[in-house]
């Protein structure tokens, strides 16, 4: 058969979504969204590149679609929470304050993005003019701490004030209130707020009375006429009232005369000055106690409008003192986490081993309750095969399907079942999701890789080992470290481990951060050493066991052809393509 190509399908979901950890996390998140769980703290460990972050994102998204409820995923990269340095910044409080302020700020960012997204989807279904402009206006307003009246006006313009945009609130008014409270919280943790009020009133009144009489020579005629007028009036009054004249008439006449000779000036002014000025300065209380009270209240308000936050604490391994910081994170927010929110802490293998050793040493101590749910992300062979199998077109012929199953074993063997390395091998051998299917005569070159993977899976399926591993992903990783130790040794050109001490050293090198494999029970270590020694013997003499391997037809064909490349003692060399090959003892290898 000639060489031909087959177009593969891109995987719809990441590899981590085929793990058992994914299913358990999705169920817990779904229970949290339903209200069955009020809070939970998950510690998810795994090698770098295992897909921990993608696992959480996909599980939260699937749980939201499953329950028909909206989860608000809040990313919390630890270096951005103010915990990256060992020295406090000027004016900052302790680590707890920085931690809670960081959580609140990141929570606002997530809420703001979700509000804008929901607002935009709502406007697409409404006959509203200038939709894009209104969405961008809301985006800008949220960053500038809008007033409650301003938010209400935006909701009214969008026709969302009656039923809202989230779909869970009874009215848009409740949504507006929650969004406004979130903007106040952002101000609370981002800086100092100053309010100033001043008022000034002024009135005046002035009363001034002044009487001034002026007599000048040129005006002498006027006074004379005034006196004459007064005398004439007095006489007249006396004539009208005989016997009644005298002092009364004379006085009245004098007044008339004075009135004609006197200039009277009267000016009235009123002046009253009052001044009042009031200045208020509000400095938010960002102490741990205040923030610990405010944050749960905001969570409750968000839940009321249909947004249940799921916090993703990531990049802890980037801190120089990651193990100590992890304890701080768990201890300082334990009460908040346990009772009110869902947290996922993602750690590297080193931090996970540190927590595991603490739990084993302290029993049911603080380390046990700090992270009640602990999962280590390690995929089993069948889970990786399931992910790879979905990439083959459903209409692929039998020959293409058989060769794809062979390549799957090659990916796992060369990638040592590390998810990132398996994906890289897939990309190198089938670039652009295009598989080249050669004639069967050329399949034998994959024999050593397929044989190694078949041997690892054979001994991984040992009854005692399956019982010891159970559902513990960390124990599964330890088992894979032990079973792949001969493959690593052969590829490095060193003798494979055959006893407890060499195996313990080989496994210890796989532990991160200089941890030792002392926590593995000595009896289990002896059983692992026996299993690894049996695996080495199987690779040295594959003819006696490959016939009994339960494998697909193409894989079985390669396994039966592979022994022709082996010479019986398990010492490795490499061929021209760099593929490891067994060689006779004492034979030179290049």
- Which residues does 248 contact at the CB level (< 8 Å), separation at least 6? none
DSSP type of residue 90: T
pLDDT given at position 493: 75
- Which residues does 136 contact at the CB level (< 8 Å), separation at least 6? none
List per-residue pLDDT tens for the chain, 590 residues long. 578 899 999 988 899 999 999 999 999 999 999 888 888 889 999 998 899 999 999 999 999 998 888 889 999 888 777 665 543 444 445 677 778 888 888 999 999 999 999 888 888 887 777 788 888 988 998 888 788 899 999 888 888 888 888 866 567 888 889 999 998 888 877 765 554 444 455 555 555 545 454 545 555 555 555 555 555 655 555 555 555 555 555 555 555 555 555 544 555 566 656 665 565 555 666 676 777 778 888 888 888 888 899 999 998 888 777 787 787 777 777 666 566 789 999 999 988 988 888 888 877 777 788 888 999 999 999 999 999 999 999 999 999 999 999 999 999 999 999 999 999 999 999 999 999 999 988 898 898 899 999 999 999 999 999 999 999 999 999 999 999 999 888 878 788 888 888 888 888 776 654 444 446 788 899 999 999 999 988 887 888 888 889 999 999 999 887 655 554 444 445 543 445 555 433 344 33
CA distance 486 to 94: 49
pLDDT given at position 310: 93
CA distance 68 to 70: 7
Q: What is the crossing angle of helices 500-508 and 522-540, to 10°?
A: 100
Torsion angle, alpha carbons of 516, 517, 518, 520, to 10: 160
Q: Which domains does the chain have, with CATH numbers?
A: 26-69+309-377 (3.40.50), 94-190+292-305 (no CATH), 200-274 (no CATH), 382-583 (no CATH)
What the block records as the tokens of 557 is: 């064909």
Q: Which ranges of 396-499 would DSSP assign to H, the alpha helix?
A: 398-414, 419-429, 447-460, 463-469, 473-483, 485-492
User: What pLDDT digit, counting tens, does each position of 87-115 carry?
Assistant: 344 444 567 777 888 888 899 999 999 99
User: What pLDDT digit, counting tens, does each position of 476-525 carry?
Assistant: 999 999 999 998 888 787 888 888 888 888 887 766 544 444 467 888 99
CB contact burial 93-127 (16+ within 10 A = b; e otherwise): eebbbbbbbbbbbbbbebbbebbbebbbebbeeee
Q: What is the pTM of this model?
A: 0.78
């Amino acid at each position: 058969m000639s060489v031909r190509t087959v177009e593969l399908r891109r995987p719809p979901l990441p590899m981590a979504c085929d793990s058992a950890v994914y299913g358990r996390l999705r169920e817990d998140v779904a229970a949290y969204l339903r209200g069955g769980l009020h809070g939970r703290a998950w510690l998810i460990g795994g090698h770098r590149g295992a897909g921990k972050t993608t696992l959480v994102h996909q599980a939260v998204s699937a749980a939201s679609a499953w329950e028909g409820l909206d989860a608000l995923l809040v990313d919390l990269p630890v270096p951005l929470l103010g915990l990256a340095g060992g020295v406090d910044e000027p004016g900052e409080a302790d680590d707890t304050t920085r931690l809670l302020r960081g959580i609140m700020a990141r929570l606002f960012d997530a809420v703001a993005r979700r509000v804008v997204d929901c607002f935009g989807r709502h406007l697409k279904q409404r006959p509203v003019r200038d939709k894009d402009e209104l969405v961008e206006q809301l985006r800008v307003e949220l960053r500038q701490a809008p007033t409650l009246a301003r938010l209400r006006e935006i909701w009214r313009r969008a026709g969302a004030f009656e039923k809202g945009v989230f779909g869970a609130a009874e009215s848009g008014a409740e949504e507006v209130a929650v969004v406004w409270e979130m903007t106040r919280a952002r101000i609370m943790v981002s800086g100092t707020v100053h309010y100033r009020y001043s008022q000034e009133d002024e009135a005046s009144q002035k009363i001034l009375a002044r009487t001034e009489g002026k007599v000048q020579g040129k005006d002498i005629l006027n006074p004379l006429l005034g006196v004459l007028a007064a005398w004439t009036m007095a006489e007249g009054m006396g004539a009208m009232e005989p016997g009644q004249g005298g002092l009364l008439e004379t006085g009245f006449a004098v007044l008339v005369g004075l009135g004609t000779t006197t200039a009277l000036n009267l000016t009235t002014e009123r002046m009253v000055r009052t001044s009042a000025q009031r200045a208020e300065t509000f400095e938010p209380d960002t102490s741990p106690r205040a923030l610990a009270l405010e944050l749960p209240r905001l969570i409750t308000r968000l839940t009321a409008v249909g947004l249940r936050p799921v916090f993703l604490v990531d990049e802890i391994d980037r801190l120089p003192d990651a193990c100590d910081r992890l304890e701080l994170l768990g201890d300082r927010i334990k009460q908040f986490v346990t009772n009110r929110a869902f947290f996922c802490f993602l750690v590297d293998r080193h931090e996970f081993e540190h927590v595991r050793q603490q739990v084993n040493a302290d029993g049911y101590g603080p380390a046990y309750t700090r992270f009640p749910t602990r999962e280590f992300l390690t995929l089993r062979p069948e889970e990786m095969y399931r992910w790879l199998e979905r990439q083959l077109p459903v209409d692929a012929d039998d020959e293409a399907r058989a060769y794809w199953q062979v390549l799957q074993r090659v990916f796992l063997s060369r990638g040592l079942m590390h998810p990132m390395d398996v994906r890289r091998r897939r990309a190198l051998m089938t670039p652009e999701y295009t598989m080249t299917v050669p004639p069967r005569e050329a399949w034998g070159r994959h024999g050593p890789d397929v044989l190694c993977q078949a041997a690892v899976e054979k001994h991984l399926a040992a009854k005692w080992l399956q019982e010891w591993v159970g559902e513990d992903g960390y124990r599964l990783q330890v088992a894979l470290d032990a079973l792949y130790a001969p493959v690593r040794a052969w590829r490095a050109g060193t003798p494979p481990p055959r006893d407890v001490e060499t195996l313990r050293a080989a496994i210890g090198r796989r532990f991160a951060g200089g941890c030792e494999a002392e926590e593995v029970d000595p009896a289990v270590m002896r059983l692992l050493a026996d299993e690894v020694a049996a695996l080495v013997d199987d690779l040295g003499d594959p003819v006696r066991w490959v016939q009994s391997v339960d494998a697909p037809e193409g894989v079985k064909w390669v396994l039966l052809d592979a022994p022709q490349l082996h010479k019986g003692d398990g010492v490795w060399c490499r061929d021209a393509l760099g593929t490891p090959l067994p060689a006779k003892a004492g034979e030179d290898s290049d």
